[in-house]
Amino acid sequence: MEFDDYKADLYEAWHLRILRVCWFFTAVVFITELAMFFVFVNSKTSPIIPGTYIVFRVVLPTLINIIISIIVSFICLDNRMQIPKKNWASCIALTLISSNISLFHYFFPAVILLPCVSIFISAIFADKKIINVTALFVGIFSSVAIFLWARENSSLELILLIANCAVYFIIIICCYLLSLFIMKSQQQQVNFIYDAYLKQQELIEEMNIEPMTRLYNKTAFESCMKLYIQKFHNKEFTPHLVLIDIDHFKTVNDVYGHNAGDVVLVRLAELIRGKMKGSRRAFRFGGDEMVLLFGPESLEQIKSIVEELRTDFKNTQYDFRPKEPITLSIGIAAYYKGLNEKSWFELADSTMYKSKTNGRDSVYIA
């Protein structure tokens, strides 16, 4: 997994969490204001005008919150949308909803500071631009809410009004500064976790590598077979298994020694590694048998690659055997519904033996 993929998965989870918070805020504020409306209506000393209250304290703020939540839902749930855009959308949406609540419900002083939540949330994405813009929006909307609150409480002494306003702004500034520290901490944690993940993957990778040929081993092959079969059932592609056997390899070992046999194996592995890129996988199954697994490539592409491999290997000259070429027998088998790992391998194996029994140095397709 690449670092960007790792962060994308992490951020996608946060997009969904923020989306839930947006809808939660919308629902809670609507229910709370509706409950308060009925309390006020049934109160003999209620100062509210029912129609005005319903419009400006219940319907209008709820409608705005719903529209914002719907828009951010479409953005965050759209798989085509890039992750950075989703980061911006989720943070701005939460800022707008929390600011909307503070503007319409400023008569509760504590609610004026609700937008500060979005400043902390923006630190999760470790993007200073998002934090700065979020803090700017919070500052603007909170200033308006503070002004409205001060106007409603003009009967207070001037010094108390100034003190309250100053406290609000100090808290907002402190939230911004603290979010910058959180951002740095978040970056360090993400980097630490990913570094640990990479080291773990390196160890797993090393365990799955055959030392001499640097191809994957039999254990890795069995796991990869299951994965490719699953991809077939998910309708991603039709995988192909290629089984390669070195012709008369035992003779090479017996006549020229095992060191010579190792040279032949290493040469074949070098050629294989040069051709197995992307989703293609190469394995040393055992002895002189190599296995290749292909994913989305067509049979024509696979046959071309394998034929090129067979020719290049045949044209290789060895110091211990300069005049006689060493050849390959190769079998190709596509996976189809009804096969399991064992039967798929046996199909490729029997196809490879057709090459063996028909003169060797050839490629057969099941």
| Tokens 């402190």 sit on residue | 174
In a domain, 250, yes or no: yes
pLDDT, tens digit, for every residue of 173-201? 999 999 999 888 878 887 888 788 788 87
Residues 159 and 297 in one domain: no
Residues 152 and 238 in one domain: no
pLDDT, tens digit, for every residue of 33-48? 888 888 777 776 666 6
Q: Is the pLDDT of residue 264 over 60?
A: yes
In a domain, 210, yes or no: no
d(CA 45, CA 22): 34
pLDDT, tens digit, for every residue of 208-219? 888 899 899 998
Please provide the average confidence, as pLDDT, over all residues in the chain: 89
Residue 288 belongs to what domain range? Answer: 218-365
Of 14-18, 38-42, 163-167, minimum mean pLDDT range: 38-42
Residues 158 and 16 in one domain: yes
For residue 235, is it left (φ>0), alpha (ψ between -120 and 50) or beta? left
**Contact at 8 Å (CB) between 265 and 197?**
no
Residues 268 and 191 in one domain: no
In this prediction, residue 9 carries a pLDDT of 83
Tell me the pLDDT band of 20, cut-offs 50, 70 and 90. Answer: very high
Residues 66 and 115 in one domain: yes
Strands 240-246 and 328-334 turn out to be antiparallel
CATH code, 252 = 3.30.70.270
The total domain count for the chain is 2
Report, in angstroms and rounded to the nearest whole number, the Rg of the chain calculated over CA atoms: 34
In the predicted model, what is the mean pLDDT of residues 24-29? 92
Tell me the pLDDT band of 340, cut-offs 50, 70 and 90. Answer: very high
The whole-model pTM stands at 0.57
In a domain, 113, yes or no: yes
In a domain, 205, yes or no: no
In a domain, 212, yes or no: no
pLDDT, tens digit, for every residue of 265-321? 999 999 999 999 888 899 999 889 999 999 999 999 999 999 999 999 999 999 888
Q: Is the pLDDT of residue 247 over 90?
A: yes
Domain boundary among 167, 199, 231: 199
